Amino acid sequence: MYNFALLDESSKREVRRALLKAIAIPGFQVPFASRELPIFFGWGTGGLQITLSIIGPDEVLKVFDQGDDDSVNAVNLKRLIQLTTGVEVTGRTQAATLLQTRHRIPEAPLRADQVLVLQVPMPEPLRKVEFRESETVRMHAEKDYGKMYVKLYEDVLHHGEITLASDYPVLVFDRHLMAPTPIPRWDVPKLHQSQHLSLFGAGREKKIYAIPPHTGVEPLSLEDHAFRVEDFSSKACIFCGSTAAYLNEIPAPQGARQAYACSDVAYCHAHRTTREAAL
Amino acid sequence: MSYVGVKGGKDAILNAEQLVEYYRCRKGGRPLAVDQIQNQMRLLVDKVMSEGSLYSPEIAAIALKQTEGDPMEAAYLVRAFRSTVSRTCFSVPAKSEEMFCIRRISSSFQDIPWGQVLGPSRDYAQRLIRFDLKDEAHLAVDPPRTDDNAPLDEPVEKVVAYLRRQGLMETPVKDHDQVPYDITRQPMAFPMDRSARLQRLTRGEDGAVLALGYASLRGWGSVHPTLAEVRVGYLPVKIRHPYWRTEVVIGSVMVTEVEAICSFKKVEDPQSGTERYLFTLGYGMVFGHNDRKAIAMSILDRALCADQPTSPVEDQEFVLFHIDNMESQGFISHLKLPHYVSFQSALDRIRSIRDKSNNTRANTPAS
């Protein structure tokens, strides 16, 4: 009934052209037409258009949402990709060749033969300080990022801290300011000089961008206020005991002890298995 | 322990899908026939075709059945289907003078050539609920008798053509070499050219186009038009034959077209150097029969021609980024997806800032 990987071939080719340009100019947002898909805009259509445009029949696919392969939207995306391509699907980070993610980068380091596709809600890092697209385009062209530094400075002035939580703006290849997607700050260092290729797709906002392997990615900071990742000191996962992973807190009833669990479920599972084997 | 709220993955979504189907069917009765929707929900089908940007009453009707009558979801289904179909060719520019009109009115002139034709219109209906429809037994209504046998199936001159002959209306400059901008295959870039703007507007959500057009009319903008013409009818679609290179008609689409006469402006003739005053034009055309959307579109078209935007509805980015129902409903509803990770990150920030301000307060000696 439908073409391999759903989209018609000319639509896929347009996405691949945008990808090539994006890889050639790290961190630069390449506009593309962006087709409507059988899932809603805002639910991963940018990532999905990239995945559908580069996937081959031999790919091993992992799709995860907030670190979880079993989260409903991740399952739904996988269902659609599998239905139209028949590729093999895995939950294991190491086994996958193509990984599509929403808002997390796996805890396990990725290899050079793996491609990470990130779903992007708001591709424009400057939208926080400038709502007009024609103006943000100019600011990028002129590397005019002063407003963003002023925001950081005002944060420190009013709150004593930089208030940006996730989707922390980064400078790529010392040239383009880029939104790393709402990954936690914890994941930002994983983009710096990475082995793997990262591709970013924003379906609704119709932009594609990329970080090629071995590219410098620096989170924005002030001289006297360094970038800091989330603080999980003295906390551990209640399932695997890890103290080296991003944790989600589990709201506890009053009086009960606050518990934490790994957000990367594949990592948690692997860590638990090795720990149990060692015991 | 169920520590990840929206989890359980496959079974949960399969069950949810089945439940939706169950809710569609649970009250029993006769299954709704697609042709019933297509024929008796004509305006709803038109709305879905217009926003879905695909002229197929049948596909629109199936989509409406599948979505239990949610026009936004139905339009989304239609657009998603559109993404799987390859583009084979462009039509040649349609000439709306060739439209076979079922309705044609002008609010600018009392007597227009070929006359005013109300056609199927609820404009003058009294909005009273007709309870007799509850027990309608047959669909048998004859078309009204008419004394006027003048056919409308020959090309009908536009009202604005009359104004142009008088030298009172601007004439858009034609660029014969221009390839039409295709917003489904080319990225959006601002400032957006007029052909692309009109495409964004015609696919826009009915209510969104109406609201923004209304805002301009009410005072958040300066467009207060007089309608030269509202036309509803069947527009022949022609393509260039691949071998013979002649134009061939491949079918027709039902459309609503509006030409709105807007405020006049001073124009300098580049050749003679003389100044003239000309009315400006706002243009609207939508798939199907939908006067209000076509009129609102014509207002927005004109508003977006402003050189110096003075209100949000004259701002291309404000209007064109926000009227597409695929984009707006998709992003609004994505808020239902889990945000555990980013919210955890926000918790980290608020606690850190709170601790810092508590420490500062503790260290400040009481006065």
> Using a CB-CB distance cutoff of 8 angstroms, which residues of chain A are in contact with residue B205?
none
The pLDDT of residue B156 is above 70? yes
Residue type, A33: A
Active-site entry in A44, A67, A201, A237 = A237
Interface residue of B342, B350, B360, B363 to substitute, partner A, most A CBs within 10 Å: B342
CB–CB of B84 and A3 under 8 A?
Answer: yes
In the prediction, which pLDDT does B147 show?
Answer: 65
Is residue B353 a contact partner of residue A157, using CB atoms and an 8 Å limit?
no
Number of cross-chain residue pairs from A and B with Cβ atoms under 8 Å apart: 173
pLDDT in tens, A124-169: 999 999 999 999 999 999 999 999 999 999 999 998 889 999 999 9
CB–CB of A32 and B10 under 8 A?
Answer: no
What ipTM does this complex have?
0.86
CB–CB of B83 and A6 under 8 A?
Answer: yes
> Distance between CA A139 and CA A137 in Å, rounded?
5
Residues in chain A: 279
The pLDDT of residue B217 is above 50? yes
- When computed from its CA atoms, the radius of gyration of chain A, rounded to whole angstroms, is 19
Name the band, by pLDDT with cuts 50, 70 and 90, for residue B6.
Answer: very low
Any idea which fold A9-219 has?
Rossmann fold (3.40.50)
Nearest beta carbon to residue A184 from set B331, B337, B342? B342
Beta-bridged to residue A180, according to DSSP, are none
Task: Scan for tokens 């110096």, then name that residue.
Answer: B308
Interface residue of A72, A134, A265 to substitute, partner B, most B CBs within 10 Å: A72
The pLDDT of residue B161 is above 50? yes
CB–CB of B344 and A161 under 8 A?
Answer: no
B352 touches chain A (CB under 8 A): yes
The pLDDT of residue B3 is above 50? no
In chain A, pLDDT over 90 holds for what percent of residues? 90
CA angle A55, A61, A65 (to 5 degrees): 115
Q: How many CB atoms lie within 10 A of CB A57?
A: 10
pTM: 0.88
> Using a CB-CB distance cutoff of 8 angstroms, which residues of chain B are in contact with residue A40?
76, 326, 329-330, 333-334
Q: How buried is residue A193: exposed, middle or buried, by Cβ count under 10 Å (0-12/13-18/19+)? A: exposed
Q: At B59, phi and psi to the nearest 5?
A: -65, -40
Average pLDDT of chain A, as a whole number: 95
- Is there a catalytic annotation at residue A86? no
Residue type, A168: Y
Active-site entry in A44, A47, A67, A240 = A240
Q: Helices (H), strands (E): how many in chain B?
A: 12, 4
In the prediction, which pLDDT does B150 show?
Answer: 56
Name the band, by pLDDT with cuts 50, 70 and 90, for residue B152.
Answer: low
Measure B183 CA to nearest chain A CA, in Å: 7
Helix ranges restricted to H, chain B: 9-25, 34-40, 42-52, 57-66, 71-82, 159-165, 194-203, 206-218, 291-303, 316-322, 325-333, 340-363
Name the band, by pLDDT with cuts 50, 70 and 90, for residue B219.
Answer: confident
The pLDDT of residue B172 is above 90? no
- Is there a catalytic annotation at residue A27? yes
pLDDT in tens, A53-92: 999 999 999 999 999 999 889 999 999 999 999 999 999 9
> Distance between CA B217 and CA B253 in Å, rounded?
29
For A104, name the nearest residue in chain B, comparing CA atoms only. B341
Name the band, by pLDDT with cuts 50, 70 and 90, for residue A241.
Answer: very high
> Using a CB-CB distance cutoff of 8 angstroms, which residues of chain A are in contact with residue B333?
40, 42-43
For A66, name the nearest residue in chain B, comparing CA atoms only. B341
Residues B244-261 have a mean pLDDT of: 96
Residues A28-50 have a mean pLDDT of: 95
> Distance between CA B304 and CA B213 in Å, rounded?
11
Domain boundaries, chain A: 9-219, 231-279
In chain B, pLDDT over 90 holds for what percent of residues? 64
In the prediction, which pLDDT does B4 show?
Answer: 43
Q: Annotate B132-170 with b (16+ C-beta within 10 A) or e (fewer).
A: eeeeeeeeeeeeeeeeeeeebeeebebbbebbbeeeebb
CB–CB of A160 and B326 under 8 A?
Answer: no
Nearest beta carbon to residue B342 from set A14, A72, A103? A103
In the prediction, which pLDDT does B31 show?
Answer: 93
**Weakest mean pLDDT among A37-46, B56-65, B110-119, B316-325:** B110-119
The pLDDT of residue B180 is above 90? no
Interface residue of A41, A49, A118 to substitute, partner B, most B CBs within 10 Å: A41
> Using a CB-CB distance cutoff of 8 angstroms, which residues of chain A are in contact with residue B327?
41-42, 204
> Distance between CA A73 and CA A267 in Å, rounded?
20
In the prediction, which pLDDT does B276 show?
Answer: 87
User: DSSP readout, B183-234?
Assistant: TTTS---SSPPHHHHHHHHHHS-HHHHHHHHHHHHHTSSS---EEEEEEEEE
Name the band, by pLDDT with cuts 50, 70 and 90, for residue A21.
Answer: very high
